């Protein structure tokens, strides 16, 4: 197995970079969309039910089925990488939105009242109190979303988006365990590294709430 990795290190490295690119772009977009959504739902009860409900429904769709649903879309179907990124973003939204909302909602009301009593506007309250105190919760959501995206991205090879899933699918088709492991092991390592690194940052951002 080690010899196989050494002989094919160029291809494995290239597919690993593709995998990282898909996950990185998707998580970046999910953060840009999910954090503002989480802030909005923390302030609007009606939107909270519809947004959290909608993201929950997306999580129940099997990953391969979601890729299939998106495939006929004209703009998405024309480019496999676009399709894969959109699918990964949809899967990543729930933990990011939910953790952003949970982090803000869990702040001691007395802290918010004290900030308002000091004359803070809503935007100042958000930027100077709520977001700093919720940072660890928000990063926990990003951490979950990233680890999930690394796994789901292997399915992207089924629609031609590349990544480490390409080795896995090729190995399954050829009944070749070496190919399967060549895709599965780096994907598992990526998920572990992402979890450890983001977990360490999350712990550093955690602050006492009282």
Residue 104 lies in a domain: yes
Our count of domains for the chain comes to 1
pLDDT value at residue 34? 94
Residue 126 lies in a domain: yes
This prediction has a pTM of 0.89
Residue 116 lies in a domain: yes
The CATH number that applies at residue 147 is: 1.10.3720.10
> 69-124: per-residue pLDDT in tens?
887 777 665 578 888 899 999 999 999 999 999 999 988 888 888 988 888 888 88
Alpha-carbon dihedral 107, 130, 114, 124, rounded to 10 degrees: -170
- CB count in 10 Å sphere of residue 69: 11
Domain that holds residue 149: 2-205
Residue 210 lies in a domain: no
> 18-46: per-residue pLDDT in tens?
999 999 999 999 999 999 999 999 888 88
Residue 73 lies in a domain: yes
- CB count in 10 Å sphere of residue 187: 23
Residue 147 lies in a domain: yes
């Amino acid at each position: 197995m080690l010899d196989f990795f050494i002989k094919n290190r160029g291809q494995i490295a290239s597919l690993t970079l593709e995998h990282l690119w898909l996950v990185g772009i998707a998580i970046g977009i999910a953060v840009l969309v999910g954090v503002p959504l989480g802030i909005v739902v923390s302030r609007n009860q009606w939107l909270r039910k519809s947004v959290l409900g909608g993201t929950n429904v997306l999580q129940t769709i099997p990953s391969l089925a979601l890729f299939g649903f998106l495939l006929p879309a004209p703009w998405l179907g024309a480019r496999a990488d676009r399709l894969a990124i959109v699918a990964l973003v949809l899967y990543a939204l729930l933990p990011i939105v939910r953790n952003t909302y949970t982090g803000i909602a869990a702040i001691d009301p007395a802290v918010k009242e004290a900030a308002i009593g000091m004359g803070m506007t809503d935007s100042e309250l958000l930027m100077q109190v709520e977001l700093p105190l919720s940072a660890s919760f928000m990063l926990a959501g990003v951490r979950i979303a990233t680890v999930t995206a690394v796994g789901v991205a292997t399915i992207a090879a089924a629609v031609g988006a590349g990544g480490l899933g390409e080795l896995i699918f090729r190995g399954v088709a050829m009944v070749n365990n070496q190919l399967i492991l060549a895709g599965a092991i780096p994907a598992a390592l990526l998920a572990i590294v992402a979890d450890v690194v983001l977990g360490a940052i999350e712990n550093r951002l955690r602050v006492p709430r009282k």
